Amino acid sequence: MATTPTTAAGTAALTGATPKARHAAALPRHVAAAGRRADSVRCSAVSPAAPTPAPPATPLRPWGPSEPRKGADILVESLERCGVSDLFAYPGGASMEIHQALTRSPTITNHLFRHEQGEAFAASGYARASGRVGVCVATSGPGATNLVSALADALLDSVPMVAITGQVPRRMIGTDAFQETPIVEVTRSITKHNYLVLDVDDIPRVVQEAFFLASSGRPGPVLVDIPKDIQQQMAVPIWDTPMSLPGYIARLPKPPATELLEQVLRLVGESRRPVLYVGGGCAASGEELRRFVELTGIPVTTTLMGLGNFPSDDPLSLRMLGMHGTVYANYAVDKADLLLAFGVRFDDRVTGKIEAFASRSKIVHIDIDPAEIGKNKQPHVSICADVKLALQGMNALLQGSTPKKTFDFGSWHNELDQQKKEFPLGYKTFDEEIQPQYAIQVLDELTKGEAIIATGVGQHQMWAAQYYTYKRPRQWLSSAGLGAMGFGLPAAAGAAVANPGVTVVDIDGDGSFLMNIQELAMIRIENLPVKVLVLNNQHLGMVVQWEDRFYKANRAHTYLGNPENENEIYPDFVTIAKGFNIPAVRVTKKSDVHAAIKKMLETPGPYLLDVIVPHQEHVLPMIPSGGAFKDMILDGDGRTVY
């Protein structure tokens, strides 16, 4: 599983690290300057701060600063020094020492989820909702492999995470020992970086580097694998060991050049139909983005990851673009003469047929990851820099210019307003049948658009993106790039941990919800204010929609209910929730929805509302995969034969 000494030495030469803690570098894209969001670095040797004073000896930690303690205790103290107050860990044989050390920590709380995938998605939800690094811990073998989906999800969505795994003792590595998995190799291509720690003295430096890598540049997940004998070994920690990442630090993007920012503003001044295309890379620069829009008057559309980075109820908001984006957002991009792409990666679900996307536009692409520039769509002007710094620089140029720069896009605004009037988001109603869009609109109304929203993946995810109002960054949590079902409930719980007292709603589908339903236990035990709104259509809804549209409605294992009795709701989420001692109600009539959601929100602690919706409903608009704006579908559902 581990690299040979020759390979380890070679890796050390590349990174500047000692061979003791063998680094498993990811693909070049991920090792390159990393980070759409420039969140504050908690552990950094680039800007030395006053060292954290050693904590006083306590009955749980009777050792003094210069006395030996177990490697697991050094690990936990390293996490404390990086500002960790909450983490998500599930114990096992190879991680027991870490859990024992956690019980001796005066500042770190472990939130015990019931599955390693759940804890890892919770760490992701925690990071997405707070901007801080999410931390999860798992044992070796199956515990470590259960983290894989969440690590891949965090890499694709640029989420800062540190995953710590126990490993079999060093002497057993490579022997196919009980619960041995080469997790460094398994996760090499789905982490930004990873480590196998082979020397207890490396723990403080490795943890510091892991947090710096996860949160700097384009954020992403970092895995640290620690053999059990290293956890048990006694040592005196050396806290002032500097980080050794000269190559990585040298490649971090520099502040954007003023000449390039001036060039962008000249293009804005020359344009008549500009559009801002904003993604998850703007999560840390919402204030600067709003100011830029105030100064320029440019309409804004966001990706699925970008929801909330610009208020969706602002008059200049075009809401989401792409496969299930609004007609007017896709119209604007199709007709634009200038596309300002900030913190985006031109994903296929946004662009569709790449040659037809923004084909009339000059394109300006600003992104912190050089690998994204020109990867899918060649820009006319590219700036590899932190979007926040670029926006600050352009705002300063606009505010300091003499005479003041003014832009008149009034006719463009009028054209787009007309599109909003002609093609609003909408849906058909059928008496007392509950349309899923209606349930989300009621939730939006009753929460005033202030709740943190998490989702699973599928139709409900798209409806939540379309029909809820997102007013601020980090309000929307969803597995966008990977599309991992089962994300919603644990991510909502992680967000609730990061934002004590704030109402968090998991808008879920019955298929996604069932994948991590066991985490009802955690939200009940901790009494978190997590509300679960299940849009239950007894089907794998998005796949059913594609079956209806492209496979003549042939059902290929997409019915999730009981085929022997299709009139009953199966499984019974209300009964299951009550087994976890969580209040739960089922609603089947539209006239009952408002009161039911109101009661859900008013009930302290966790709550489950099972909303029965028709499986024939389709997410619209829809641009078929590989299609263009001209191919957009605006009507129809599963009640129609295609």
Q: Which residues are catalytic?
A: 116, 178-179, 228, 542
Strands in 338-439 per DSSP E: 338-342, 362-367, 381-384
Q: How far, in Å, are 147, 456, 482 from residue 328 at the CA level?
A: 39, 26, 26
Strands 607-612 and 317-320: unpaired
Q: Buried (b) or exposed (e) across 224-258, using 16+ Cβ within 10 A?
A: bbbbbbbbebebebeeeeebbbeebbeebbeebee
Structure tokens at 249: 């630090």
Helix (H) / strand (E) element for 609: namely strand 607-612
Burial of 606 (0-12, 13-18, 19+ CB in 10 A): buried
Integer Cα distance of 319 and 314 in angstroms: 9
Task: Confirm if 114 and 518 have CB atoms less than 8 A apart.
Answer: yes
Closest CA to 143 of 167, 174, 127: 167
Integer Cα distance of 451 and 377 in angstroms: 35
Mutual angle of helices 459-467 and 541-550, in 10-degree steps: 100
Main-chain dihedrals φ then ψ at residue 611, nearest 5 degrees: -100, 115
Structure tokens at 84: 């960790």
Burial of 287 (0-12, 13-18, 19+ CB in 10 A): middle
Integer Cα distance of 625 and 620 in angstroms: 14
Integer Cα distance of 250 and 593 in angstroms: 56
Integer Cα distance of 496 and 502 in angstroms: 7
* Backbone conformation region of residue 309, classed left if phi is above 0, alpha if psi is from -120 to 50, else beta: alpha
223: which strand partners?
A: 163, 194
